[in-house]
Amino acid sequence: MTTLELKSLSVNIGSRRVLDNLSFTISKGEIVGLVGASGSGKSMTARALCGLLPNHAKPSGTLILNGETNALDDIKAFADKRGRDIGLIFQDPAGAFNPLMSIGDHVAEALVRRDGFTWPHAREKARATLDRAGFPKSIPAFDRYPHEVSGGQRQRAMIAAALVQAPKILIADEPTTALDVTTENAILKLLKQCASEDGLGILLISHDLPALARIADRLLLMKDGRLIESSQLPLTEADAPELARLFELSHKAPAPSPSHEHPTLLQTKAVSKRHNNRSGFLSGSRATIHAVKNVSLSIGEGEIIALVGESGSGKSSLARILAGLDRASHGDVMWASGKGRVQMVFQDPAGSLNPRWTIGRSIGEPLSLPADHPQVKEAARDAGLDPALLTRCPHQISGGQAQRAAIARAISARPDLLILDEPVSALDFEIRDQILSLLERLRAMHGIAMMFITHDVSAARRLSDRMIVLDKGEIVESGLTADVFSAPHHAVTKALLAAASPSIKEGRERS
Amino acid sequence: MSSALHKKIVSGGFLLIIVYAVLAAAMPLMESFYQIRIDLRLMPISNAHWLGTDQFGRDTLAMVIGGCFASLSVAAMAVIIGAGIGIPLGLMASSQENFASRSILSLNDFIFAFPALVTAILIHNIFGSGIVTAGLAIGLFNIPVFARTLYGAARPLWTKDFIKAARLAGKSNIAIAAVHILPLVSSVAFAQISMQMGLGILAEAGLSYVGLGVVPPMPSWGRMLNEAQTLIVIAPRLAIIPGLAIAASVFLFTWMGDKLSDYADPKRREGHDHDHA
Amino acid sequence: MLIRVLIQKLVGLIAFLLLASVFIFLIVDVLPGDPAELMLGTDSRPDTLQALRHQLGLDQPLPVQYAAWIIGFLRFDFGTSMTYATPVLTLIAERLPVSVPLAVMSLALTTMIAIPLGAFSAHQPGSALDRMIRIGLQLALALPNIWLALLLIMSFAVGLHWLPAGGFAGWKSGAWPAFKSLILPLLALAIPQAAILARIVRAEMRDKAQELFVLGARARGLSEKDILWHHILPNAMLPILSIMGLQFAFLIAGTVIIETVFSLPGLGRLIFQAITQRDLPLIKGVAMLLVGSVIFINQLVDLLAALIDPRLRRQSGASL
């Protein structure tokens, strides 16, 4: 039974057509996955369906919901449907919640303000819905504020706030992007449950194709504001060649490692990092947090090591210590050569370049070279960046190009160790593949040792010789990447590997 | 608003500020016109006295032009003190979170408890009335204003990855502040300078009105208001004219400050609301 | 915990007050040289000077003098005015019934004008109403309060004879006649301050309107009105409150000046007489009171912010 039918949705911003003639349906209890690169119009589609487009965007088309036809440019009609018929959840930076309102009241609020419930009555219903969404019973939701619960709990609360008005359709816009892999799996399972048990139709938007493939019934692929492919799962190459190709990209086979014999470049001995969490001047309470605990590891020359773990596992703290940006509270970092030069590449390409500097000037910074120096141009070419872009500023180039510029800056200084902190997790699938290829090539070309920090185990598998798994600041597993993949020991490693999905051709879990 | 139009408006404002500075510099030339001449007192508007004369026979137009000097020099002195101390303090506090930066911020909050008038009253015994007292008193209050603004603008920048990259490139905190941070916050600083010039002119008028500002014979808009108050019924123009001069110059500076801060904020410069899509 | 914040603010209050007293003591009693000479003039006779020094305790070492002053404070003894030969505290207490209502009411009026104006303006940015309000605010911001006071006197007192041009009827003459003489001073104080505050309100509300939680509230189907009052405004109130704390310093200074314009028998007139008479104990006492009240209000504002914002109230380990 079709719950929602979208007919030729188009959106114009000024004279630019950002969404072009989109049509699709969502049935009762069906999960439709919507994929596409950033800027392809996924989020715009989500917001058009909820009547939440920015003021300057002009929609057209029709939406048939429960057999009732609505014109999409009729914003007023939407105000009433929003929340009641179509729920929306999105990525959980803590900012999606009003920081001054308790978690529980976010769920109860609409009942009071829209349906005339009393607060006690609304809270009762909200508590039941929170339970349904798997929000821990042990947490007093009406006495906890958004900053006091974890990201996964916030996402459950956001789902509860959408479910409490019993909508027929839920639009989930990148609901798990900010979450750990294990939490991501739990949230996806919850959504699946809502679809199969309550008959909720879900439009699940994500750039994480493997995750989508695990729970969706159907996939839609968007590119430049158009719907270019639509396919039932499991995918077949004949039905959806582009989706199949993207899927393959995420599971490329590992590059054969040149050698397993590396002379030692650096060693750490029982490195620990404590943070004294002081809230402010004159404040009494202090909490000591071990970000890194007793970490001993060694890195060989020209070796690529993957440092894997969930967020908060201490990966970035360890990286900062190795880079010399931070001091260890205990333990030593010892370089074979006495002192090593370290460069870093960061997750967010936009934030890693000074917005007012030209790309060339940024690349020349470590060596204090002028922007038009031949060495700067050479570094750019090495990183696959067109030297013509060197005179541009960061906002004039794409995210992938910015990441290449950051890599160029790092390698221009010929570091002993290159630390890559989640270098591809903010990038789209295809760009991710290109950057990973670039790193493979750079290793072959220069033999720079790299530490590759990631929660994306498939990227780790493709690039690294050795893998170290970190949990709560401690090393819980380490070994050759191939060995760790074939025989993981620790529970955390197993969970991480399980989250990296199997290929579609190997079959898919179906309920 | 288009960027080109914006630039035109801002340069127009700068031009007016230059005119204002020239008028201030012209004060010595006006001196002969604001000598006390009881025989010429309370002359109406005429060809000889375009804005009439006051109860001491001084030419009102000359007094208004002469008043530019006191306003501009006190406000400028206050801004130089405030920005000169406040900007480095704010940048220093923003660079890291430690005891020193917390102390700077606490000291800021403390100085905020000393409005210019109270400081002027306190230091009046040391320096007497005049440009120094007024400039120091307003300048002291300007310090935390600048420090806080610069702290707020610079603090989020220090956590950016390009700052970490600069550290890895071997740059010291001071070098990073100079080549990365300062250029990125300079427009915020200029906007605040313009705003504080305007507020400084207002504060100077208040201090001169109660006798803590510049002393005669140097003309001052605030004192002109004081002297005009008793004549409000017979010669209201004597109160209206200097007030207009104050309001117009404050408007010029605060308006310029607004335009500059629009320029500093790219979100507002582009003139439409951004969404989170 | 709220108790902890309360204690924190109390400690801050005491520390700042002590610091302020040292500051005032240094500037008034130490830096200018000999206070006795300052008060009596350089040509006075040595024995009179000596007598005054002894009377003021100036022959004691500086720390002793400071300690005596501070201990006096704790015993509600602010010293004795030289010109009035009356305890400073008595003099101040006589003036408070004018100054305190004026300062408090002008703060209230400022807020009452600024918040609706700023909210209206922020509601539909770029609309005709918004542009009109913004131009009005920019003009009002540039108005010197003394000039505004004179213009108000010209129109409502001299021209229309609705309200007194100055002076104070005294609260004994009844609430209305007394309040009538405060209406023009209130307007002169509040209008330019309201312009400053309304601009902040507008900017903060527009800022908060861009936050993701507003999109979240819309997605749950809340009306724009509910979103404005229950989500945007409470969040905008935090920075607005801290600006209001700062504005209190301006209001205190403004009150003192505006009292002079309207010949109101408040602290303003008292302190300007003290300056002309070089009555140092009186200057120190009034300055301490003015600075102390600004410090007190700012700590109070911080406390209020902690009441609104759970993040300031309790820091838990859940989010780092």
Q: Residue C249 and residue B258: Cβ atoms within 8 Å?
A: no
Evaluate whether B186 touches B241 at the Cβ level (below 8 Å). Answer: no
Non-local (6+) Cβ contacts of B228 within 8 A are B54, B235, B238, B239, B242, C150
| C223 in A contact zone (CB under 8 Å) | yes
Q: Residue C320 and residue A289: Cβ atoms within 8 Å?
A: yes
User: Residue A45's closest CA among A227, A242, A243?
Assistant: A227
Are C43 and C142 members of one domain?
Answer: no
> Is residue A41, in this structure, part of any structural domain at all?
yes
Are C203 and C157 members of one domain?
Answer: yes
The boundaries of the domain holding residue A239 are 1-85+169-176+200-251
> Is residue A380, in this structure, part of any structural domain at all?
no
Question: How far apart are the CA of A486 and the nearest CA of chain C, in angstroms?
Answer: 35
The boundaries of the domain holding residue C201 are 95-276
**Angle ∠(A482,A488,A493) on CA atoms, nearest 5:** 105
The model's confidence at residue C113, banded by pLDDT at 50, 70 and 90, is very high
Type of residue at B138: I
Type of residue at A240: A
| A289 in C contact zone (CB under 8 Å) | yes
Q: What single-letter DSSP state applies at residue C263?
A: T
Q: For residue B162, what is the nearest residue in chain A, using CA coordinates?
A: A352
Q: Is A443 strand, coil or helix?
A: helix
CA–CA distance, A290 with B34 (Å, rounded to integer):
74
The shortest CB-CB distance from A352 to any of B102, B162, B273 is to: B162
CA–CA distance, C181 with C168 (Å, rounded to integer):
6
The model's confidence at residue B269, banded by pLDDT at 50, 70 and 90, is very low
CA–CA distance, A44 with A20 (Å, rounded to integer):
11
| A162 in C contact zone (CB under 8 Å) | yes
Residues of B in contact with C280 (CB under 8 A): 125
Q: Residue A88 and residue C308: Cβ atoms within 8 Å?
A: no
What pLDDT score was predicted for residue B277? 30
Evaluate whether A53 touches A62 at the Cβ level (below 8 Å). Answer: no
Q: Is A101 strand, coil or helix?
A: coil
| B39 in A contact zone (CB under 8 Å) | no
| pLDDT: which is higher, C297 or B26 | C297
Q: Residue B168 and residue A44: Cβ atoms within 8 Å?
A: no
The model's confidence at residue C320, banded by pLDDT at 50, 70 and 90, is very low
Quickly list DSSP for C94-118: HHHHHHHHHHHHHHHHHHHHHHHHH
Are C223 and C248 members of one domain?
Answer: yes
Residue in C146, C153, C211, C275 to test binding to B, most B beta-carbons within 10 Å:
C146
What pLDDT score was predicted for residue B271? 37
Residues of A in contact with C220 (CB under 8 A): 82-83, 87, 106, 109-110, 161-162, 165
Residues of C in contact with B254 (CB under 8 A): 138, 141-142
> Is residue A303, in this structure, part of any structural domain at all?
no
Q: Is A65 left (phi over 0), alpha (psi -120 to 50) or beta?
A: beta
Quickly list DSSP for A405-464: HHHHHHHHT--SEEEEESTTTTS-HHHHHHHHHHHHHHHHHH--EEEEEES-HHHHHHH-
Q: For residue A279, what is the nearest residue in chain C, using CA coordinates?
A: C315
Q: Residue A162 and residue C220: Cβ atoms within 8 Å?
A: yes
Type of residue at B227: E
Evaluate whether C295 touches C20 at the Cβ level (below 8 Å). Answer: yes
Q: For residue A407, what is the nearest residue in chain B, using CA coordinates?
A: B165
Evaluate whether A462 touches A254 at the Cβ level (below 8 Å). Answer: yes
Q: Residue A82 and residue C221: Cβ atoms within 8 Å?
A: yes
The model's confidence at residue B234, banded by pLDDT at 50, 70 and 90, is confident
Type of residue at A124: E
| Rounded (10°) angle between helices B116-127 and C280-308 | 150
As given in the structure block, the two tokens for residue C31 are 């830096």
Which of the other chains make 3 or more beta carbon contacts under 8 angstroms with chain A?
B, C
CA–CA distance, A308 with A421 (Å, rounded to integer):
11
Evaluate whether A309 touches A455 at the Cβ level (below 8 Å). Answer: yes
Are C265 and C286 members of one domain?
Answer: no
Residue in B199, B210, B215 to test binding to C, most C beta-carbons within 10 Å:
B210
> Is residue A213, in this structure, part of any structural domain at all?
yes
The model's confidence at residue A14, banded by pLDDT at 50, 70 and 90, is confident
| Residue pLDDT, tens place only, B50-82 | 777 777 777 888 788 888 888 888 999 999 999
As given in the structure block, the two tokens for residue B165 are 């990259």
- Quick check: A493 pLDDT over 50? yes
The model's confidence at residue A500, banded by pLDDT at 50, 70 and 90, is low
CA–CA distance, A323 with B53 (Å, rounded to integer):
74
* CATH code assigned at C138: 1.10.3720.10
| Residue pLDDT, tens place only, A385-414 | 998 899 998 888 888 899 999 999 998 888
Q: Residue B121 and residue C295: Cβ atoms within 8 Å?
A: no
- Quick check: C12 pLDDT over 70? yes
Question: How far apart are the CA of C27 and the nearest CA of chain B, in angstroms?
Answer: 6
Residues of A in contact with C213 (CB under 8 A): 95-99
Are C166 and C24 members of one domain?
Answer: no
Phi and psi for A268 in degrees, rounded to 5? -115, 145
Phi and psi for A274 in degrees, rounded to 5? -110, 140
Are C258 and C302 members of one domain?
Answer: no
Phi and psi for C67 in degrees, rounded to 5? -60, -40
Are C77 and C102 members of one domain?
Answer: no
User: Residue A174's closest CA among A155, A161, A192?
Assistant: A155
CA–CA distance, A141 with A149 (Å, rounded to integer):
9
Evaluate whether B145 touches B193 at the Cβ level (below 8 Å). Answer: no
> Is residue C89, in this structure, part of any structural domain at all?
no
Q: What single-letter DSSP state applies at residue A392?
A: S
Q: Residue C142 and residue B247: Cβ atoms within 8 Å?
A: yes
Structural domains of chain B, with CATH: 3-276 (1.10.3720.10)
Non-local (6+) Cβ contacts of A506 within 8 A are none
Measured in whole angstroms, the distance separating CA C119 from the mean position of its chain's CA atoms is 24
How many Cβ pairs closer than 8 A exist between chain A and B?
58
Q: Residue A101 and residue C212: Cβ atoms within 8 Å?
A: no
Residues of B in contact with C31 (CB under 8 A): 126
| Residue pLDDT, tens place only, A308-346 | 888 778 888 898 898 888 888 888 888 888 778 899 999
Are C120 and C39 members of one domain?
Answer: no
Q: What single-letter DSSP state applies at residue A388?
A: G
Phi and psi for C170 in degrees, rounded to 5? 90, 145
* CATH code assigned at A237: 3.40.50.300
**What count of Cα atoms within 13 Å lies in the side-chain half-sphere of residue A470?**
30
Residues of B in contact with C253 (CB under 8 A): 115-118, 206
> Is residue A48, in this structure, part of any structural domain at all?
yes
> Is residue A297, in this structure, part of any structural domain at all?
no
Buried b (16+ CB within 10 A) or exposed e, A294-311: ebebbbbbbbbbbbbbbe
User: Residue A322's closest CA among A414, A421, A419?
Assistant: A419
- Per-chain mean pLDDT for chain A: 85
Evaluate whether A510 touches A215 at the Cβ level (below 8 Å). Answer: no
Q: What single-letter DSSP state applies at residue A252?
A: P
Residues of C in contact with B148 (CB under 8 A): none
- Quick check: A257 pLDDT over 60? no
**Angle ∠(A505,A506,A509) on CA atoms, nearest 5:** 105
> Is residue A247, in this structure, part of any structural domain at all?
yes
Q: Residue C291 and residue B118: Cβ atoms within 8 Å?
A: yes
Q: Residue C144 and residue B202: Cβ atoms within 8 Å?
A: yes
What pLDDT score was predicted for residue A253? 64
Which of the other chains make 3 or more beta carbon contacts under 8 angstroms with chain B?
A, C
As given in the structure block, the two tokens for residue B176 are 């990073």
Q: Name the pTM for this structure.
A: 0.83
Q: Is A387 strand, coil or helix?
A: helix
Are C52 and C74 members of one domain?
Answer: yes
Type of residue at B208: S
As given in the structure block, the two tokens for residue A68 are 């009732």
Q: Residue C138 and residue B250: Cβ atoms within 8 Å?
A: no
Which of the other chains make 3 or more beta carbon contacts under 8 angstroms with chain C?
A, B
Buried b (16+ CB within 10 A) or exposed e, B218-257: bbbbbbbbbbbbeebeebbbbbbbbbebbbebbbbbbbbb
Are C245 and C307 members of one domain?
Answer: no
Count of structural domains within chain C? 2
Q: Residue A366 and residue B170: Cβ atoms within 8 Å?
A: yes
User: Residue C215's closest CA among A111, A96, A174, A205?
Assistant: A96
Are C269 and C287 members of one domain?
Answer: no
The shortest CB-CB distance from C144 to any of B109, B233, B246 is to: B246
User: Residue A376's closest CA among A411, A350, A412, A343?
Assistant: A412
Measure Cα distances from A113 to A97, A104, A141, A428, B48 in Å.
Answer: 17, 15, 19, 40, 71
Question: How far apart are the CA of A351 and the nearest CA of chain C, in angstroms?
Answer: 20
Count of structural domains within chain A? 1
> Is residue A30, in this structure, part of any structural domain at all?
yes
Measure Cα distances from B8 to A318, A399, B12, B15, B264 in Å.
Answer: 51, 34, 6, 10, 16
- Quick check: A508 pLDDT over 60? no
| C315 in A contact zone (CB under 8 Å) | yes
Q: For residue A45, what is the nearest residue in chain B, using CA coordinates?
A: B277
Q: Residue A114 and residue C221: Cβ atoms within 8 Å?
A: yes
**In sequence order, what E strands does chain C have?**
none
| Residue pLDDT, tens place only, A463-475 | 888 999 998 888 9
Strand partners, A417: A342, A449
Q: Contacts by A118-125 with C-beta closer than 8 Å and gap 24+?
A: A125/A164
Measure Cα distances from C1 to A167, C6, C140, C310 in Å.
Answer: 39, 9, 42, 9
| C260 in B contact zone (CB under 8 Å) | yes
Residues of B in contact with A362 (CB under 8 A): 162, 165
Residue in B97, B121, B126, B199 to test binding to C, most C beta-carbons within 10 Å:
B121
Q: Is B113 strand, coil or helix?
A: coil
Residues of C in contact with B243 (CB under 8 A): 144, 146-147, 150-151
- The 3-class SS string of B67-94 reads HHHHHHHHHHHHHHHHHHHHHHHHHHHH
Q: What single-letter DSSP state applies at residue A37?
A: -
Q: Is the peptide bond before B217 cis (omega within 30 degrees of 0)?
A: yes
CA–CA distance, A55 with C127 (Å, rounded to integer):
13
> Is residue C214, in this structure, part of any structural domain at all?
yes
Measured in whole angstroms, the distance separating CA A375 from the mean position of its chain's CA atoms is 34
The shortest CB-CB distance from C215 to any of A52, A145, A149 is to: A52
Of A266-280, B55-69, C49-63, C221-235, the poorest mean pLDDT is in A266-280
What pLDDT score was predicted for residue A353? 93
Type of residue at A435: I
Q: Residue A98 and residue C216: Cβ atoms within 8 Å?
A: yes
User: Residue A319's closest CA among A328, B171, A310, A348?
Assistant: A328
Are C147 and C35 members of one domain?
Answer: no
Non-local (6+) Cβ contacts of A269 within 8 A are A296, A331, A332, A334
| Residue pLDDT, tens place only, B239-253 | 888 999 999 999 989
CA–CA distance, A344 with A417 (Å, rounded to integer):
9
Please report where in the chains the tokens 């902040």 appear, as a residue.
C200
Please report where in the chains the tokens 């131009």 appear, as a residue.
C135
Q: For residue A157, what is the nearest residue in chain C, using CA coordinates?
A: C216
What pLDDT score was predicted for residue B274? 33
Measure Cα distances from A363 to A156, B177, C87 in Å.
Answer: 43, 19, 71
Residues of B in contact with C141 (CB under 8 A): 250-251, 254
Measure Cα distances from C193 to C67, C139, C267 in Å.
Answer: 38, 12, 20
| A356 in B contact zone (CB under 8 Å) | yes
